[in-house]
Chains A and B, each alone.
Chain A
Amino acid sequence: MIVFRQRVSGDGKPVRGKCMEFGSVMFLFRFLPVFILCYFMAPGRMKNAVLFLGSLCFYAWGQPVYVVLMLLSVLMDYLHGHLIDHYRGRTASRVFLCTSVLVSLGMMFLMVYGDYTIRTVNSLLGTEIPMMRLPVPFGIMVYTLQSLSYVAEVYRGRVKPQKSILDYGVYLSFFPQLAAGPIVRYPDVEGMLHERKVDLSGISTGVKRFCVGLAKKVLLADAAGELWRAVSVVGNTNLSAAAAWLGILAFAFQIYFSFSGYADMASGLASCVGFSFPENFRYPFMARSITEFCRNWNMTLTKWMKEYVYIPLGGSRKGALRQTVNVLLVWSLTGLWYGPDRTFLLWGLWMAVLLLIEKFFLGKLLEIMPGVLNWLYMVFLMSLGWVIFAMPDMQSIWSYFLAMAGQNQKGLLDDRFFYLVMEYIPILAAGILASTPLLSMAAAKIREKKSGACIALYRFGEKVLPGMLLLLSMIWIVGRNG
């Protein structure tokens, strides 16, 4: 999971999982070349061993001590999978499912939500329970969900327990997706763990995807983050309405390009070693309703929640009231997945309420409304949602809303807005372009042509674009501007 707003422990000190960033010199010019060389030099049956060891090294880089935690998780899930299968049809099977779920969730709760819970209890009851101040293990929010997916699917009998602990280790610890997903359900990759095809086309696709993801993260998300910081340091009460809207647009770009950039890099690397990962984003900012946005945003997380929480709770089959409760619960959990803070919870509830309103009241109206109005409606409500997501407390949320409404002394427009727009106009333009399907539509149109200068240029660009994006990203990664 990527932390956009630093998670804060009980005593106000930020805590986060340390890791080796994909967009770092260490990863690109040390880890990745060595890993790729080892992987392709290893004989067929040793490839998974290289993957597992490589993932453990990657994982150990930030917090070596937590490798033990990862190994324990692999071992526990592997054993539980077999025990659940062995006692299938008996109570013991359910007991082992419960213990597996409890251990996985308990570990995640303790590490990620422990101090937040203590802080809440202390403030509510006036107690002075000391904080644990545990560093958050990198990737725990991703691999816990993957672990739960495995035991649940084994319990349901949809998949067989994994025979090889090494293969299961690869599934759980595979480093590309640990940072921010996609959250890969076990059935989606079960076959590939044992046998997968690596060909030139797959590697080429992976390389392209990785370079695009890297550029999204390094060139767009980080720059959008800078713009967001430039707006947020002003203070909510000193913001004009235009600057506040610009700021939240920058935040939305930062979060989107970070998540989708990481997902692209993960899918690209996975493709290079023969895996095929599910898509995680499908142009969510082009959605025409909140429902559509949610369908296209962090799709693997949404699917996981639907598969393992919403449907087991009854989904929409047990009446409107039960469905309402289920939606509220699922989105509360989704909100908390992003971070242990009440504003993340509030963001989840905000999304749930909007989804329910669309489900029960606005659905028909949205169908007949013009597309542009639908899109504006989605952008407006999602912008308010991003404010909730971005702000650390309720007071800040409210003051930011006031700024967006032009209720500050700065009014609607100020020099800061024009200054920032002029400074970040290339980033904003690139962000808008990259968050729409315009580029891929244009590429498809060109591909339809059989000959001409346009197609020749396109063919050439297609071959060198990944290299150019990599070089540009390298300049931004190695060169520091501060």
Chain B
Amino acid sequence: MKERQNDLLTISVVAVLLLLFTVADLTWEFSALFGSRNQTAAGQKTEGTADFLNGRLTTSYQEKVHDHFINRHKWDTLRRDMESLMGKKDLNGLYFGKDGFYFQQHFPENYPEKRQEEGLAFLEKMAQEQDAVIMLIPTADELLQEKLPLYAEIFNQEAFLERAREVAGENHYVDMLRTMRLHRGEEIYFRTDPHWTALGAYYGYLSWWQTAGKVMPYYYDPEDCQLVMDDFQGAYTYRLDIDTVKERLYIFSETKKKQMLVRYDGKVQRTSYYREDALDGENPYAYFLGEGYGITEILTGYDRKSSLLVIGDSWANCMIPFLAPHYGSICFVSPSNYEGNLEELVREWKKQERSEILVLYSVTGLLEEAPWENEE
């Protein structure tokens, strides 16, 4: 009799769990069928017999059932929290750092020696043949190693930067490792985004200005920063599907004052460096000059004879507003989005008078985007 009761209890617990969630989920699904969640269904492609026979229909239904399971988001959070309790310190290519920092996992094996040599050859060519200034910014994991999880392995950016300095030569090289180390206690990197903040870019600008031997035409006061939003959630929050971590987004007020014009890929035009529309998207960092364009041309509004070609990744977006007062126009080419030949573009650029070139990349961005491949 006792055994029978035990068996009944075991079966009941499991059966109730399964049936409870089945009924709850089915109710949820049916209510959604007549609610807003299914509004897109009408627009979906109708599956045919072939889709049924080869299993595509059933597979897609299976995914739909999973994705729309009752309170899906809470299950995700529950699992993540439990894994975190069990000691998991990374997810989706991100390390969970201390003090609310997330770091992209830059493993040494992602940057093999051959790739590094190609990168160095590109930098050497740009510095020595095109008289370009080289500015490579170490990413947050290199600077804030004490915030990484214990034993987290990262690519040694310092060693690469040392080699970059050698091939570029002192006159063409902006020592960003030293600069960022000087300010490492300040908010120079976002916690939830792979980029540097406006403050980080400001220190970068100061460093560039000293190396390039420019006269500082405009004084930016870090104390006079404008708070754009205090609930900024960088790209990492979208990648991890978390909405609890928020931070502040500042810009330097002065960079907004001058009338200017930005032209993206020769088509779209805007009158500000800053894109309010990007703040709600999956890459809110695109607030700085947008994203995904091959060529961004900027008429700065300053009466200057010289012009600048910036070859770089998205890290450049944040610093370009600081460069504006030095030039009448700036052309920012992002080789990863640019479909033309970079070498030809540089050749044409150099034909102009008083034209300068700045290569501005994050260290890992340079090696990942491989701009030299656009020359082939």
Nearest CB of B to A9, in Å: 16
A426 to B86, CA, bound (A): 7
Q: Which residues of A contact B76 (CB under 8 A)?
A: 479-481
Q: Which residues of B contact A204 (CB under 8 A)?
A: 6-8, 10-11
B281 at the binding interface (Cβ < 8 Å): no
CB contact under 8 A between A415 and B151, given known A25-B65, A238-B109: yes
Q: Is the CB of B77 within 8 A of A479?
A: yes
CB contact under 8 A between A478 and B72, given known A24-B66, A65-B53, A207-B14: yes
A479 to B80, CA, bound (A): 8
A363 to B107, CA, bound (A): 46
Q: Is the CB of B55 within 8 A of A63?
A: yes
Of residues 19 through 42 on chain B, the ones whose CB sits less than 8 Å from some CB of chain A are 19, 21-22, 25
Please tell me which stretch of A280-288, A295-303, A372-380, A469-477 contacts chain B, meaning at least 4 of its Cβ atoms lie within 8 angstroms of it.
Answer: A469-477
Shortest Cβ distance from A414 into B: residue: B153
A30 at the binding interface (Cβ < 8 Å): yes
Q: Which residues of B contact A466 (CB under 8 A)?
A: 10, 13-14
Q: Is the CB of A33 within 8 A of B69?
A: no
B4 at the binding interface (Cβ < 8 Å): yes
Q: Which residues of B contact A238 (CB under 8 A)?
A: 108-109
A454 at the binding interface (Cβ < 8 Å): no
Q: Which residues of A contact B368 (CB under 8 A)?
A: none
Q: Is the CB of B13 within 8 A of A423?
A: no
Q: Is the CB of A18 within 8 A of B4?
A: no
Contact of B151 among A25, A419, A464 (CB under 8 A): A419
Shortest Cβ distance from A230 into B: residue: B90
Contact of A18 among B59, B61, B80, B151 (CB under 8 A): B59
Of residues 50 through 71 on chain A, the ones whose CB sits less than 8 Å from some CB of chain B are 60-65
Fill in one digit per residue for B315-334: 1 if any A CB lies within 8 Å of its CB, else 0.
Answer: 00000000000000000000
Q: Is the CB of B66 within 8 A of A62?
A: no
Shortest Cβ distance from A68 into B: residue: B53
Q: Is the CB of A61 within 8 A of B149?
A: no
A20 to B89, CA, bound (A): 31
Q: Which residues of A contact B58 (CB under 8 A)?
A: 60-62, 64
Size of chain A's interface in residues, with CB distance under 8 A? 55
A446 at the binding interface (Cβ < 8 Å): no
CB contact under 8 A between A475 and B75, given known A235-B109, A470-B18, A481-B83: yes
Q: Which residues of A contact B92 (CB under 8 A)?
A: 482
Q: Which residues of A contact B228 (CB under 8 A)?
A: none
A471 to B82, CA, bound (A): 13
Q: Is the CB of B7 within 8 A of A201?
A: yes
Of residues 49 through 102 on chain B, the ones whose CB sits less than 8 Å from some CB of chain A are 52-55, 58-59, 61-62, 65-66, 69, 72, 75-80, 82-83, 86-92
A418 to B89, CA, bound (A): 13
Q: Is the CB of B91 within 8 A of A481?
A: yes
B229 at the binding interface (Cβ < 8 Å): no
Size of chain B's interface in residues, with CB distance under 8 A? 51
Shortest Cβ distance from A420 into B: residue: B151
A427 to B82, CA, bound (A): 13
Fill in one digit per residue for A174-205: 1 if any B CB lies within 8 Å of its CB, else 0.
Answer: 00000000000000000000000000110110
Q: Is the CB of A25 within 8 A of B153?
A: no
A156 at the binding interface (Cβ < 8 Å): no
Q: Is the CB of A419 within 8 A of B153?
A: yes
Q: Which residues of B contact A464 (CB under 8 A)?
A: 13
A342 at the binding interface (Cβ < 8 Å): no
A208 at the binding interface (Cβ < 8 Å): yes
Contact of B11 among A26, A200, A415 (CB under 8 A): A200
B353 at the binding interface (Cβ < 8 Å): no
Shortest Cβ distance from A471 into B: residue: B17
A360 at the binding interface (Cβ < 8 Å): no
A425 at the binding interface (Cβ < 8 Å): yes
Q: Which residues of B contact A29 (CB under 8 A)?
A: 18, 21-22, 25, 65, 69
Contact of B78 among A65, A234, A424, A479 (CB under 8 A): A479
Which of A18, A238, A418, A423 has the most chain B CB atoms closer than 10 A to its own CB? Answer: A423
Fill in one digit per residue for A384-418: 1 if any B CB lies within 8 Å of its CB, else 0.
Answer: 00000000000000000000000000000011101
Contact of A422 among B3, B65, B150 (CB under 8 A): B150
A207 to B78, CA, bound (A): 25
B216 at the binding interface (Cβ < 8 Å): no
Which of A24, A29, A65, A414 has the most chain B CB atoms closer than 10 A to its own CB? Answer: A29
Of residues 196 through 222 on chain A, the ones whose CB sits less than 8 Å from some CB of chain B are 200-201, 203-204, 207-208, 211
Q: Is the CB of A470 within 8 A of B17?
A: yes
Contact of B88 among A135, A211, A233, A423 (CB under 8 A): A423
Q: Is the CB of B107 within 8 A of A32?
A: no
Q: Is the CB of A28 within 8 A of B79?
A: no
Q: Which residues of B contact A478 (CB under 8 A)?
A: 66, 69, 72, 75, 79
Of residues 434 through 482 on chain A, the ones whose CB sits less than 8 Å from some CB of chain B are 459, 462-464, 466-467, 470-471, 474-476, 478-482
B152 at the binding interface (Cβ < 8 Å): yes
Q: Is the CB of A416 within 8 A of B153?
A: yes
B9 at the binding interface (Cβ < 8 Å): yes
Q: Which residues of B contact A424 (CB under 8 A)?
A: 87
A479 to B83, CA, bound (A): 11
Which of A28, A235, A427, A481 has the most chain B CB atoms closer than 10 A to its own CB? Answer: A481
Shortest Cβ distance from A237 into B: residue: B109
A238 to B112, CA, bound (A): 10
Q: Is the CB of B3 within 8 A of A201?
A: yes
Q: Is the CB of B22 within 8 A of A203?
A: no
Q: Which residues of A contact B62 (CB under 8 A)?
A: 20, 24-26, 61
Q: Which residues of B contact A459 (CB under 8 A)?
A: 6
Nearest CB of B to A29, in Å: 4
Q: Which residues of B contact A480 (CB under 8 A)?
A: 76, 79
Report 9 cross-chain contacts, Cβ distance below 8 Å, ordered by A residue.
A18-B59, A26-B61, A61-B58, A63-B54, A419-B151, A462-B10, A471-B17, A475-B82, A478-B72
Q: A463-B9, A479-B76 are in contact. List 5 more A-B contacts (CB 8 A).
A: A135-B54, A200-B4, A418-B151, A423-B90, A475-B82
What are the 4 A-B residue pairs with the smallest beta carbon separation, nearest first? A479-B79, A204-B7, A467-B13, A479-B75
Binding site for B on A (CB under 8 A): 18, 20, 24-26, 28-30, 32-33, 60-65, 135, 200-201, 203-204, 207-208, 211, 233-235, 238, 414-416, 418-419, 422-427, 459, 462-464, 466-467, 470-471, 474-476, 478-482
